[in-house]
Homo-oligomer: A and B are copies of this chain.
Amino acid sequence: MKKLLAGAVLGVATLSVATVSLAQMKTEDAIKFRQAGYAFMSWNMGKIKAQVVDGAVPYNKDQIVAAANVIAAVANSGMGALYPAGSDKGSGFHETKVKPEFFQNMPEVGKLAGNFNTAANELAAAAATGDQGAIKAAFGKVGESCKACHDQFRAK
């Protein structure tokens, strides 16, 4: 757990360094990759919701562990590097929805990203226990951390 949290912090702390070292990445590629990360997480969030929250699909521990591991791995991947300066506009798989305010509030972004990373790692830890109540609670916190950023920094 300590290792996971260290990774989470890294994702935020290395934002500026990664942005510099990846300065050659095209803006549209950065936007495409970040959209890919969010879309792939949403598929895996959907699996957890269907099995553990809604009960629409029978609970399968291995599938939920795998889904939570995806969300944690994506959260820990240093996606800050996919928000280079100038990427407040542009199209990856589709036009970006990020608000310009995102790039003017990096301390707030870092705080929200840290909350998301913590929640994602706690979801992975809960999934590994197989305790559906704990998974449901941790899933809720991940959802809240997503929403907190969307509300502030994603256009409707």
| Chain A residues at the B interface, C-beta cutoff of 8 Å | 6-7, 10-11, 14, 18, 21, 32-33, 35-37, 39-40, 42-44, 57-58, 60, 62-63, 65-67, 69-70, 72-74, 76-78, 82, 93-94
A and B contact pairs by CB, cutoff 8 A, 6 listed: A6-B62, A10-B66, A11-B66, A14-B60, A36-B39, A66-B78
From B42, B70, B78, B93, A77 is in contact (CB under 8 Å) with B70
Least CB separation from A70: chain B residue: B73
A67 in contact with B77 given A37-B40, A43-B36, A62-B7 (CB within 8 Å): yes
| Known contacts A36-B37, A66-B78; 9 further A-B pairs (Cβ under 8 A) | A11-B66, A35-B36, A35-B93, A36-B40, A36-B43, A40-B40, A40-B74, A63-B78, A69-B73
